[in-house]
Amino acid sequence: MNRQNFFVSFCVLILGLSIQSFAQVLLPEIKVLAVNYKYLGAVNNKAVAVPVKQLERKAAVFDLKDTDFYEDEYDNYFVTFFIPEGKILAAYDKNGKLLHTAEKFKNIALPLLVSQSVAKKYPNWHIAKDVYLVNYHESNGVTKKYKILLENGTKRMRIKTNEKGEFI
């Protein structure tokens, strides 16, 4: 066996041992819940404010069976999620499936389509307050609307739009 063959054999041996040592690393267990994917798909709106997205994700991944109040004998559970900007009242079945929600968020950043639509129709008015309402039902889908308070000097006006900026 010449030196070159010995060196190649030695490198292959070292490489083989190092790969085996990396294979021994254990990763933490990850729990993936796909129960409420339908809800996330229905309420998903890329233009909605970040706090809304975060709270909706929290409601979607909520593990009902991992709570202190879970018992097999009850069919439905109502859970409320809060952040300073709003809240979600969510109804789950005993398996943790999200059945319906009532969501309300105050004074969040409006989607570009909504703010442009309002500015175009009411050019001299500014948005003083807004409320974003979402109602999700597993069989009926989702409804989303914005209630907006406009001001122009001492004048006030209330309007409603959907997430596309269409006036209701």
Nearest to 89 by CA among 98, 12, 164: 98
Question: How many domains does the chain divide into?
Answer: 1
pTM confidence score: 0.74
Whether the pLDDT of residue 68 is over 70: the answer is: yes
**Does residue 107 lie within any of the structural domains?**
yes
Highest mean pLDDT among 9-13, 43-47, 93-97, 103-107: 103-107
**Does residue 24 lie within any of the structural domains?**
no
**Does residue 6 lie within any of the structural domains?**
no
Residue 74 sits in which domain range?
37-162
pLDDT in tens, 18-50: 555 555 555 565 555 556 788 888 888 777 888
Report the run of H or E that residue 111 belongs to, with start and end. Answer: none
- In the prediction, which pLDDT does 146 show? 96
**Does residue 13 lie within any of the structural domains?**
no
Q: How far is CA 52 from CA 15, 73, 113, 129, in A?
A: 49, 32, 17, 16
Give the chain's radius of gyration (CA, Å): 26
**Does residue 1 lie within any of the structural domains?**
no
Q: Whole-angstrom Cα distance, residue 102 to residue 88?
A: 6
**Does residue 29 lie within any of the structural domains?**
no
**Does residue 26 lie within any of the structural domains?**
no
Q: How confident is the model at residue 1 (pLDDT cuts 50, 70, 90)?
A: low
Amino acid residing at 104:
K
pLDDT in tens, 77-102: 899 999 999 999 999 998 888 999 99
